[in-house]
């Protein structure tokens, strides 16, 4: 095996691992922001206001409003992801019996021997 081939394979494996680790870290960060927003709103929901009404300039009220807005955005993203995932899953289940008719055969699935 040539050294350049070995280096390319090692680079590809490291690149895939880096992408997986980055995706995992983003998922953890996403969940942490979601949970921290929920806990902040729950902890400060009944705080003592230093203003009259809901439209005042209380710093806690401003942060609660921002956290609620973030939670609405994140929950809509979760809902959209769930709908798309279910749609893809159902599509794959429905297309599986039709696979031979769609011409999705590969050389390996047909067990074709390639001679030089």
Per-residue model confidence as pLDDT tens digits over 96-111: 766 666 666 676 767 7
- The structure tokens 């019996």 sit at 97
Higher pLDDT, 22 or 56: 22
Within its chain, how far is the Cα of 30 from the centroid?
Answer: 8
Nearest to 46 by CA among 61, 67, 57, 63: 61
Q: Which residue segment(s) compose the domain that 39 sits in?
A: 3-45+54-93
Q: What is the pLDDT of residue 25?
A: 93
How many structural domains is the chain composed of?
1
Residue 115 lies in a domain: no
First to last CA, the chain: 20
Per-residue model confidence as pLDDT tens digits over 4-13: 555 666 667 7
- Which range of 16-25, 32-41, 56-65 scores highest in mean pLDDT? It is 16-25
Residue 27 lies in a domain: yes
Contact 47, 60 (CB under 8 A): yes
Higher pLDDT, 19 or 107: 19
Query: What does the alpha-carbon distance between residue 19 and residue 14 come to, in Å, rounded to a whole number?
Result: 9
């Amino acid at each position: 095996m040539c050294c350049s081939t070995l280096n390319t394979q090692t680079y590809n494996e490291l690149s895939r691992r880096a992408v997986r680790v980055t995706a995992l870290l983003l998922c953890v960060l996403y969940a942490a922001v979601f949970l921290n927003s929920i806990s902040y709103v729950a902890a400060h929901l009944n705080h003592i206001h230093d203003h009259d009404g809901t439209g005042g300039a209380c710093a806690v009220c401003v942060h609660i409003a921002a956290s609620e807005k973030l939670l609405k955005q994140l929950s809509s993203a979760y809902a959209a992801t769930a709908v798309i995932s279910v749609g893809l899953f159902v599509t794959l289940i429905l297309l599986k019996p039709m696979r031979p008719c769609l011409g999705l055969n590969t050389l390996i699935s047909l067990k074709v021997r390639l001679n030089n």
